[in-house]
Chains A and B, each alone.
Chain A
Amino acid sequence: MSGSHLGMPAFPRAAAVSTRDSLLRANLAHATHTIRDKRARAVAELDDWAQLRAAGAAVKDRTLRHLDSYLEQLEESVIAAGGRVHWAADAEEANRIVTRLVRETGEREVVKVKSMATQEIGLNEALAEAGIRAYETDLAELIVQLGDDLPSHILVPAIHRNRSEIRDIFRREMGSWGRPAPDGLSDSPAELAEAARLHLREKFLTAKVGISGANFMVAESGTLVVVESEGNGRMCLTLPETLISVVGIEKTVPTWQDLEIFLQLLPRSSTAERMNPYTTTWTGTTDGDGPRTFHLVLLDNGRTDTLADTVGRQALRCIRCSACLNVCPVYERAGGHAYGSPYPGPIGAILTPQLRGIEGSLEASLPYASSLCGACYEVCPVAIDIPEVLVHLRERVVEGGPVTRRGTRTVLKPAKGHAAERAAMRAATWAFDHPGALRGGMRLASRTRRLHPRRLPGPGRAWSDSRELPAVPAESFRDWWRRTRGEQRPDGSSTEQRGGVK
């Protein structure tokens, strides 16, 4: 990823731009509806889904309630298996550690497998500043990186791009990053995938350092698990000499047996498959097979602050399946970029304000980026009550109260008259101005959930496609972002980090 989400505008402002983009909306609607239906079928195949879901939630809750013990156990197991463990209290520390580890190898290039944690901390930008090029290898991330863009969906980050845009990006940009796109490249997905295969193979075959995240870490054995589809994960995890995995501390599960729950919940919720094409598990290092050096960087960066909130901590159960995005009427209208972080949709609306604090105007507006219809809770494989946390965070924004920031408890003042409240009100107004979003939510709600009392009151004026405003001018998301944020900054300066060296 070459852009950074830091300092994004508040949700309503960003959402207003993307709801005007009819192409984005059409792509998103197609994607979310397709995945939603497939997921429902994949889940219906298992009679014991409710039990698996309860067990998944219980394992995560147990782990979170004793996270200190489990992390110490994990550390011990990883070290015993030949790995090295580093702890990072925040993004800066994590970036510093990874940069140092890459420098120690003497390499200037790394291959990366899609990792939301490294997006969250802005690792690519930090590496670029140190003169290290990070190559994204997930097809969608490659599209995003080459297009000088930001991801918009957890599972399909380039869902806002259609095939001819992707072909144009490949033709234009591949050459300056490595092997150019083949002559006469068409816009058929198969040809585009082949172009990516050829382009990235050069990187895989020569890469000495791989950087990954992980879906799960098993405390008792020190095993890490990466679940993927394309095989770029396997390439990054097995071909380089050095592997660095940056993983949020909440990804821990206690036992090997616990994977029997999550390896059933995750693929069906995520890609709606019985099982995803590839899953890799590794424990430390193995003689003669795979990387000789393995570093695990355990990342806090706001997770312990989230843990300190007894209502909000359930957000840390999240296994990043993206099912909640695909059923969310607000996400479908607003698009992923509006959420201003690598975590879009309902999970982003509760995770981002907790990881970063609700003092900022984007963070304060996110808990309002929802109609509280409850569809996200219904599909969540670890039963996170997202509406409950949204309401809780709205209370914090409006009424203030105790919060933990970087490990220190403080009391937040009520936001009355404060910028945060205005931002929140604008978000609510945005939702009211888009009754389509609310209506979709209510339809789902009537089929699904009894959480009606907390729902926002009914919409105002009618909304139809004929009211659709002209499309935004053709420009890269980052250009748009630089321009619009440039306007917004009070001191007129630009803090845009130049990422992804070109």
Chain B
Amino acid sequence: MSGRDVVLARIRRALADVPRGEGPSDPPVPRDYLRVHGSRTAGQNVDLLAENLAEYRAIVHRCGPGGLPVLIARLLAERGARSVVVPAGLEPGWLAGAEVTRVPDVPSATARELDAVDSVVTGCALAIAETGTIVLDAGPDQGRRRITLVPDHHICVVRVPGQVVSSVPEALPRLSPDRPLTWISGPSATSDIELDRVEGVHGPRTLEVILLAAG
């Protein structure tokens, strides 16, 4: 017998007490938990997102469409970034003000090459206010997962309030399991040494989130 047959046969024997008529969607799951915690306007949701992001040490900025290229250019210049990975579908205007080498997100780029790049600028799929989370789904303005992992500085643009949902239950139906997802809530962190929180271990140690208001 294959491992598969052995395991499945053991499971069926183990479940002899389950009535024959009971199907996989029984017994019912009570889903009377809340879809959203509290009630907020769209604007309050954006404020909550900003607050929660900041609590987990992301650096939050706000601007309108006109100010975005200037802001991105300033953030890159302040860090002394000389090179930036650019996802294929990033709005070209966003980087219009930046004097940096643009490194395209191509399949042939090695992890070591990415390690030599200073920053990455992306959009996102959505953001979750209650938990201070941004979600990337490898869409055209976000690129391959590794480009937001290897460089040490990530600037992520969230269109507000359009891309902001309230809660985890509101987020999942808008995300496709078929796409690889990265949920990011603040920069990477560890509390492994005497429970002292240290920000920035392996992912980008600096996460800057720009909340981009509609024009």
Contact = CB atoms under 8 A, between A and B. Distances in A.
Interface of A: 27, 30-31, 34-35, 45-48, 51-52, 54-55, 58-59, 61-62, 65-72, 81, 86-89, 93, 97, 137-140, 143, 156-159, 162-163, 166, 189-190, 192-193, 196-197, 200-201, 204-206, 218, 221-223, 229-232, 234-235, 238-239, 249, 254, 256-257, 259-261, 263-264, 267, 271, 273-283, 286, 288-290, 298, 300, 304-305, 307-308, 310, 313, 404, 407, 409
Given A48-B34, A55-B30, A277-B189, A223 B177 contact: yes
A62 B26 contact: yes
B23 interface: yes
B188 A231 contact: yes
Contacts of A97: 3
Contacts of B133: 275
Contacts of B188: 229-231, 277-278
14 contacts: A48-B34, A55-B30, A139-B192, A162-B194, A163-B193, A196-B201, A197-B202, A223-B177, A230-B203, A234-B203, A278-B182, A280-B181, A281-B177, A308-B10
Classify the secondary structure of B's interface with A: loop
Interface in B1-23: 2-4, 6-15, 17-18, 22-23
B214 interface: no
Interface in B162-182: 168-169, 171-173, 177-182
A59 B14 contact: no
Interface stretch (B39-47, B69-77, B93-101, B138-146): B138-146
Contacts of B11: 67-68, 71, 249, 304, 307
Contacts of A280: 145, 180-183
Contact of A218 (B27, B33, B177, B180): B177
B206 interface: no
Given A234-B202, A271-B191, A289-B138, 11 more contacts: A46-B34, A47-B37, A55-B33, A58-B29, A66-B15, A230-B188, A257-B173, A274-B130, A275-B133, A275-B168, A300-B7
Interface of B: 2-4, 6-15, 17-18, 22-34, 37, 52, 56, 107, 110-112, 115, 128, 130-133, 138, 144-146, 149-150, 168-169, 171-173, 177-196, 198, 200-203
A288 B181 CA distance: 15
Contacts of A232: 201-202
A259 B29 CA distance: 13
Contact of B115 (A66, A156, A201, A286): A201
Nearest to A68: B11
